[in-house]
Amino acid sequence: MIVDFSSDTTAGVSDEIMNAVVAANKGCELGYFKDEHTKNVKKWVQSQFTVPVEVALISNGTAVNILALRTMTNGVCSIICTDTTHIAHSEMGATEHSLGTKILTVSDEFGKITVGKIKKAISTLGHNPPIKIVAFSQATELGTTYTPKEIKRICDFAHAKNMFVYFDGARVANSLAYLKCSLKELVQDTGIDAFTIGGNKNGCMFGEIAVFVNPELFKDVEKYQKQLALTFSKTRFFASQFEAYFKGDLWLKNAQHANQMAKYLEQELKKIGLEIVYPVESNMVFTKIEYPLFKALTKNYILSYSNKVKKIVRLMTNFKTTREEVDSFIKAIKTLKKEND
Ligand SMILES: Cc1ncc(COP(=O)(O)O)c(C=O)c1O
């Protein structure tokens, strides 16, 4: 059996979510976010905060970034993030193309942007548009997680400079499971203006949720969503997924499982002498594997280099990863290493 450690989008859908979608397939229901399922999801998100929030349901991660960032931009401005951040590195320039904004990048510190890096970028802005948004991913693309303290430091600095702070929460469930804190503590108490809750990588069929916390951003969310062609009609099938996702904290349980498997993988890789490149604070483990071993492993495992030059492999776990899969991977590495000794 081929095991996929290259991505967390290949695992399929949680049974509870698939069953909820099937159960929603009864009779007629209003579309375009006017169905009861959408109302329930919005209510659940609101219940996580003690201030009013605005919520938008969006089909995928790239699109939700565009919508959220649209509410904070007016074209003639820059967004600052690290050079590994998904909006800068992995979306074919979608944000710049759709919004006409400039994305300025800085090098990361274990995947993270820091106040020091933002200050330096401001001082070397030249003829770039002024920076209006600080953006990052939680968890980061290197599998690390910002603590609430780190986020608050960024927000305090950014707000003093009249900038918004946004995080792409494609893997925010993994970060919450790692930090063992609430959404309110991570977002409202730190000063985040808008963020997303990912579903795609953690057991949903499709979908992400944009959440706007700063009331300045509420006004035109619906208009931008329509204008950017980010709506769809049969929203009950989207929203019923998220009802099941949040019910009984399935989203956190899925993420916790993925994180535990990543920790287990890290521990077993260390035991056989492989280097762990970044702290494991979500569902990603980065290790170094030389090409001959990498190639031999790809006969039975789907793997990808995140840095071919440095031979760094990104190993992703997901809500369905088993200990047996990890054990078989470690055994395969041991066997192949022995054969080559
Ligand atoms: C941090 C992050 N943001 C956004 C996305 C984009 O998601 P989608 O492929 O659904 O557009 C991804 C996908 O890998 C991601 O890892």
Q: Is the CB of 230 under 6 A from ligand 1?
A: no
- Give the strand pairing for 131-137 and 78-82: parallel
Per residue in 134-157, pLDDT (tens digit) is: 999 999 999 999 999 999 999 999
Per residue in 16-46, pLDDT (tens digit) is: 999 999 999 999 999 999 999 999 999 999 9
- Ligand 1 centroid – CA 211 distance (Å): 16
Structure tokens belonging to residue 54:
């605005």
Structure tokens belonging to residue 59:
């089909």
Tell me if 221 sits within 8 A of 212, measured CB to CB.
Answer: yes
Query: How many beta carbons lie within 10 A of that of residue 322, not counting itself?
Result: 12
Closest CA to 240 of 199, 210, 281: 199
Structure tokens belonging to residue 197:
């809750």
Closest CA to 264 of 315, 312, 323: 323
- Ligand 1 centroid – CA 144 distance (Å): 16
Closest CA to 177 of 282, 316, 279, 264: 282
Q: Mean pLDDT, 10 residues at a time, over the chain (341 residues)?
A: 88 97 97 97 98 97 98 92 96 95 95 97 96 98 98 98 98 98 98 98 97 97 96 96 98 98 98 97 97 94 94 97 97 90 72
Q: Is the CB of 137 under 6 A from ligand 1?
A: yes
Structure tokens belonging to residue 185:
């503590």
- Ligand 1 centroid – CA 208 distance (Å): 10
Q: In what order do the strands lie in the sheet with 131-137?
A: 54-58, 208-212, 194-198, 164-168, 131-137, 78-82, 102-106
Structural domains of the chain ordered from first start: 3-9+250-340 (3.90.1150.10), 15-248 (3.40.640.10)
- What separation in angstroms does the CA of 104 have from each of 85, 132, 133? 11, 11, 10
Q: Which of 200, 284, 304 to probe ligand 1 with, by most ligand atoms within 8 A of CB?
A: 200
- What separation in angstroms does the CA of 256 have from each of 60, 140, 192, 238, 286? 22, 16, 23, 23, 18
Which helix (H) or strand (E) segment holds residue 132: the answer is strand 131-137
Atom 9 of ligand 1: nearest residue by CA position: 61
Q: How far apart are CA 91 and CA 78, in angstroms?
A: 17
Q: What is the pTM of this model?
A: 0.97
Which helix (H) or strand (E) segment holds residue 306: the answer is strand 305-307
Number of H helices, E strands in the chain: 14, 12
Per residue in 79-99, pLDDT (tens digit) is: 999 999 999 999 999 999 999
Structure tokens belonging to residue 46:
């609101």
